[in-house]
Amino acid sequence: MSLIIASQLDADFNRGLGQHPAAPILIDVADEEPWAAAAEADMLLIRPSPAWRQPAAKRPPAWPGRLKWVYSASAGIDFYPQWLLDAPLVTCGRGVAADEIADYVIAAIYAHAKNLEAVTVRSRAQWINVPLGRVSGTTIGIVGLGAIGQEVARRGLALGAQVMGLRRSGAQSGVSGVEHVRDVEALVARSDHIVIAVPATPETRHLFNDALLRKVKPGAHIINVARGSVIDQAALMQALDREDGPGFATLDVTDPEPLPEGHALYTHPRIRLTPHISSNHTLVRHRLLEKVRDDISRFVRGEAPSDIVDPARGY
């Protein structure tokens, strides 16, 4: 019997899945209730669509139905209701966009350090020597040494920066040259650029609160490519306004998304805000397809697919 896959992904992506040697059967998913496909599919391939956030997204009485497997196209699963994890197997698209997000981080570091727009001259009167900031010799601290954090670390080391990293599990990252630390307070106190790349869980909510932000190295640059909930946004703005606080923040994520019109984050002079685009997801869709196809091959062989979500940890 062929594997029946209910997919929330686009038609081109689904055609690519349908060409898998296992000849899976692809069925449609209702946009308003994607979870309803659990009644007739073996695998449910999902994306963080608005339906999962609606009040109507309550646990279906028969969930998980006949499902054997739920596959989240996104790396994080915090967007989905908790009952999703009651499925027999949940996996995610972790690592697919790690390169793109790491490139965004490095671009943010250079934009802050060099800020060429601010020193661009438009007249002879402006032709003066202005010292630029440095990247080589600075310290990049990475909170979360998963797939994204490791790619940031490799790039930072290649650019001549010192790289520190913190991993919740305490395991080594596998990136030679990274200084591993266990204390987030020590990391933020020593880092010129602080990269946040942890999953959103109850434990990481407001990890960067007023107390931690007061320990950040004065003038440091905070970069958040994780989830907006990891930073207490009100505390961040207060910290940025202090003379001895961090100097700047690049935020690709906020809480909520999008921010309501008129929110102070839009206009704060020490914040660069981008609309959750660091993953460049439309240009790495082929990587997701390769990952899903490979995981299907493993699954039909009776092997475990990659990046299984641990319900206890929430990622």
Question: Annotated catalytic residue: which of 32, 179, 257, 290?
Answer: 257
263 in catalytic set: no
293 in catalytic set: no
Encode the chain in three state secondary structure.
Answer: CCCEEEECCCHHHHHHHHCCCCCCEEECCCCCCHHHHHHCCCEEEECCCHHHHCCCCCCCCCCCCCCCEEEECCCCCCCCCHHHHHCCCEEECCCCCHHHHHHHHHHHHHHHHHCHHHHCCCCHHHCCCCCCCCCCCCEEEEECCCHHHHHHHHHHHHCCCEEEEECCCCCCCCCCCCEEECCHHHHHHHCCEEEECCCCCCCCCCCECHHHHCCCCCCCEEEECCCHHHECHHHHHHHHCCCCCCCEEEECCCCCCCCCCCCHHHCCCCEEECCCCCCCHHHCHHHHHHHHHHHHHHHHCCCCCCCECCCCCCC
94 in catalytic set: no
Question: Annotated catalytic residue: which of 168, 227, 281, 285?
Answer: 227
Question: Annotated catalytic residue: which of 270, 276, 287, 293?
Answer: 276
What pairing do the DSSP bridges indicate for beta strands 43-46 and 69-72?
Answer: parallel
Which residue numbers are catalytic?
A: 227, 257, 276
